[in-house]
Amino acid sequence: MIPLVEHYCIKQSTDNIEHVLKTCNISRYTCKQCDIKTLKPFHKRGQCTYRRCDCKKNVRQTCPENEACGVIYDQIKAIHAFNDPNWLNTDSTMWSTCPWEQMKCYIATPGYKETKTICDADITALVQISSNNREINALIGTSSGYLDEIRKTRNEIYHSSLMTVSNDELKDIVFHAEICLKEVSTKFSDCRQEIDHQLSVLKRISIEKFSVTKQHESDAIDDAKIGIKDSLLALKSE
Ligand SMILES: [Zn+2]
Ligand SMILES: [Zn+2]
């Protein structure tokens, strides 16, 4: 999913910036100072069709580059399936330089503000972007329900104390993932090679007989030790 979301991340940011240059009649968009907490949207309050919108708040500041950041605000809101982006995840002072800062507004769950690139996104973020971003959602189309099933199953496994997966659950995950991948592959040929590879991995997982050996257990314990050590180091350096 990363190549797909990354493609749209760059495409939409480029489209949004092109729209800014035309609408604001400027030759470059370089603003690095507008804060989403106080930014005034470009559209006027009287023309607003949204139920919830920042144009209805009184104390708002206009972007000094001919309202450029306000135009980006409008674009991000328009592409959101429910016109309700999560502004808590974005640093709007980087909208002119970092496409990921625009895409992060489609992640409904807070806590992604510190992620610097799409590679820091987890499956929850990618699934939410795919559902909430109109263009990506149109591509995944009818299989977006399957995508949500994958996210739910993944969360159930991760949040269970045993982290076990039954054969039936695994079959479901593989089944839903195959449907999504095939649908995206027909509509987005740039990803076809990567998708074919992922499909072959899924096929292997579904036919492989897998039994847990002492070696697997010992490897898992070693991995957990490394993870804990890294987390402690990260905590110390903060
Ligand atoms: Zn409005
Ligand atoms: Zn600005």
Domain segments of the chain: what residues? 6-117, 134-213
Tell me the CA–centroid distance for residue 77 and ligand 1, in Å: 9
Joined together, the tokens standing for residue 137 give 């959602």
What pLDDT is recorded for position 168? Answer: 83
The reported pTM is 0.78
Joined together, the tokens standing for residue 219 give 């490897």
Q: Quick: pLDDT tens for 99-155.
A: 999 999 999 999 999 999 988 888 889 889 988 999 988 887 666 677 777 778 777
Tell me the CA–centroid distance for residue 8 and ligand 1, in Å: 25
Q: Find out whether 129 and 103 touch, Cβ atoms under 8 Å.
A: yes
What is the distance between the alpha carbons of residues 218 and 69, in angstroms, rounded to a whole number?
Answer: 52
Q: Is pLDDT at 58 greater than 70 in this prediction?
A: yes
Joined together, the tokens standing for residue 82 give 């429910």
What is the distance between the alpha carbons of residues 177 and 199, in angstroms, rounded to a whole number?
Answer: 9
Closest ligand relative to 77 C-alpha: 1
Residue 45's SS3 state is helix
**pLDDT: which is higher, 193 or 36:** 36
Q: Calculate the CA 163 to chain-centre distance.
A: 25
What pLDDT is recorded for position 169? Answer: 80
What pLDDT is recorded for position 144? Answer: 65
Q: Is pLDDT at 24 greater than 80 in this prediction?
A: yes
Q: Is pLDDT at 163 greater than 80 in this prediction?
A: no
Q: Is pLDDT at 170 greater than 90 in this prediction?
A: no
Highest mean pLDDT: which range of 45-49, 91-95, 170-174: 91-95
Closest ligand relative to 64 C-alpha: 2
